[in-house]
Amino acid sequence: MSGIQSTSGPGFFTSSIGKKYVVGLMAIGITLFALTHMLGNMLLFVSPKAYNIYSHTLISNPAIVAIELVLLAIFLVHVAFTIWTTIENKAARGNRKFLTTKGAKSVSWSSTTMFYHGVVIFFFVAWHLKTFKYGTNYDVTYNGVLMRDIHRLLVEVFQSPFYVWSYVFCVVFLGYHLNHGVQSVFQTLGFNHPKYSPAIRKLGVAYAVVVAVGFILQPLYVYFFMKQ
| Below-50 pLDDT ranges, the chain | 1-7, 95, 97-107
Indicate whether this model's pTM tops 0.75.
yes
CB 176 within 8 A of CB 112: no
pLDDT in tens, 180-215: 878 877 776 677 767 778 888 888 899 999 999 999
Dihedral sign computed on CA atoms, order 125, 163, 210, 20:
negative
* 174 neighbors 181 (Cβ within 8 angstroms): no
With contact defined as beta carbons under 8 Å apart, do 176 and 110 qualify? yes
Query: Which of these, 182, 175, 217, lies nearest to 202 by C-alpha position?
Result: 182
